[in-house]
Copies of this chain bind each other. A is one copy, B any other.
Amino acid sequence: MSTTSKERVQSPDTGAEQRLKVLGISLPEPPEPLGIYAMSVQSGSQLFLTGMLPTRGHTPQFVGRLGAELDADAARESARVAALNALALVRRQLGSLDRIARVVRLGVFVATAGDVREHPKVADGASVLLQDVFGKASNPSRVVVGVASLPLGVPVELDLIFEIAE
Query: Looking across the interface, which residue of chain B has its beta carbon closest to that of A50?
Result: B141
The one of B3, B4, B38 that contacts A140, using a Cβ cutoff of 8 Å? B38
Q: Find residues 92-134 in chain A having any chain B CB closer than 8 Å to their own CB.
A: 93-95, 102-107, 109, 111-117, 119-120, 123-124, 127-128, 131
A113 to chain B, nearest CB (A): 7
* Residue A139 lies at the interface, judged by CB distance under 8 Å to chain B: yes
Task: For the complex formed, measure the closest distance between the CB of A138 and the CB atoms of chain B, giving whole angstroms.
Answer: 9
For the complex formed by this chain, how many copies does it contain in all?
3
Cα separation A4 to B166 with both chains bound (whole Å): 14
**Closest residue on chain B to residue A47 by CB atoms:** B2
A149 x B112 contact (CB < 8 A): yes
Interface centre among A47, A102, A141, by most B CB within 10 Å? A141
Closest to A142 in B: B37
Candidates B39, B107, B127, B147; contact of A147 at CB < 8 Å:
B147
Minimum distance in angstroms from A139 CB to a CB of chain B: 5
Binding site for B on A (CB under 8 A): 1-5, 34-51, 67, 93-95, 102-107, 109, 111-117, 119-120, 123-124, 127-128, 131, 139-153, 157, 159, 161, 163
